[in-house]
Amino acid sequence: MVNTAVMGATGLVGETMIQVLQDRSFPADRFIPFASKRSKGRSVVFRGRKYPVEIITPESLSKGMIIFGATSADIARNWVPMCIQAEAVVIDNSSAYRMDPGVPLIVPEVNGHLVQREQRLWANPNCSTIQLVMALRPIMELAGILWVAVSTYQAVSGAGTPALKELRRQQKGQAPSGGHPEFHGNVVTGIGETSAEGFCNEEIKLMSETGKILETDFPIYASAARVPVKTGHTESVTVKLDRRVDIQLVRQALQDAPGVTLSNSGASPLNVAGSDAVVVDRVRTSPMDPSALQFWVLADNLRKGAALNAVQIAETYLKTI
């Protein structure tokens, strides 16, 4: 049994982390929900008991405590060093440390061997990255990948609770407010700030994180959009291989991959919401190029795309001690 905490416990991802910890019977001996001063006076329920939200301080930390981070990158850069100094173990969902060479970026089904007992900090990848690498890893066992093109259709919940509330407002016919884009009945072709080269933050994360996790340098051609869906990210993927591979071998490899569910029935975000699986749908060979594969990848962005993956990292760590 271990002392366990969630930093950002009152946010959408933090709430999902608490739910997943309960769903998977995580061996938490003591539980602490941490959040900002804005959540002062609130409480969260864990295993039927109410816990008052606390402000994280050095005194609230202990050696070996496992802390799940569900905050922004700017906030994570403030609290994570404090936890490492206290010899706690941190699994951070923000982008703050993902590309740090000294911090493993983990999807347990793909590179869980990098979770070692001596490490004190692991980064949780971006939601769209997690489902992409889950689909690519089995294919890499069959042939070399020359390049990948991916277009993402990302749910509004990826932007947090305020964005979801805004979507509900707009669905009731109210105009966009508070600087939010028009989600309802729309496709927002870009997520986050746009670089001078024209790439948005989500595209940059997807390209850089995929290479780090898979330890490869093949090009990733990414385009990211926000769609008026509550939960569940969808990706359209084309993979160029260095040779032709029988499509039945590809389907079998995906079917056998841990955490992956193979579909051929036209999966949708409604199908994956609340599920822990990464669904790979309609795998096919391009009629224009027999060495190119096309398929869809879908996952619940709050569960496997964030909370579940973080808890799986902690479970993998506990097996090492």
Q: Is the pLDDT of residue 178 over 90?
A: no
Tally of residues, the chain = 321
Measured CA to CA in angstroms, residue 284 lies from 46, 251, 296 at distances of: 44, 9, 10
190-212 tens-digit pLDDT = 999 999 999 999 999 999 999 99
Where residue 319 falls among pLDDT bands split at 50, 70, 90?
Answer: very high
Domains defined for the chain, CATH in brackets: 2-126+306-318 (3.40.50.720), 128-300 (3.30.360.10)
Q: Residue 265: its pLDDT value, please? A: 87
Q: What are the tokens at 311?
A: 């808890």
Residue-wise pLDDT tens digits, 41-88: 899 999 999 999 999 999 999 999 999 999 999 999 999 999 999 999
Sequence-ordered list of residues with C-beta below 8 angstroms from that of 235, at least 6 positions apart, any chain: 128, 131, 132, 150, 151, 152, 153, 296, 297, 298
* In contact, 301 and 229? CB cutoff 8 Å: no
The bridge status of strand 43-46 relative to strand 28-34 is unpaired
Give the contacts of 128 (CB within 8 A, at least 6 positions apart). 152, 154, 202, 205, 206, 224, 233, 235, 301, 305
Q: What is the arithmetic mean of pLDDT over 282-296?
A: 97
Q: pLDDT at position 312, please?
A: 98
Percent of the chain with pLDDT over 70: 100
Tell me the catalytic residues. Answer: 127, 233
Task: Extract the tokens encoding 119.
Answer: 């490490």
200-256, pLDDT tens digit by residue? 999 999 999 999 999 999 999 999 999 999 999 999 999 999 999 999 999 999 999
Q: What pTM was computed for the model?
A: 0.96
* pLDDT single digits (tens) 104-149: 999 999 999 999 999 999 999 999 999 999 999 999 999 999 999 9
Residues 301, 304: Cα–Cα separation, whole Å: 6
**Which of the 8 DSSP states describes residue 116?**
-
Query: Across all residues in the chain, what is the average pLDDT?
Result: 97
Nearest to 67 by CA among 20, 31, 38, 97: 31
Residue 40 has a pLDDT of 85
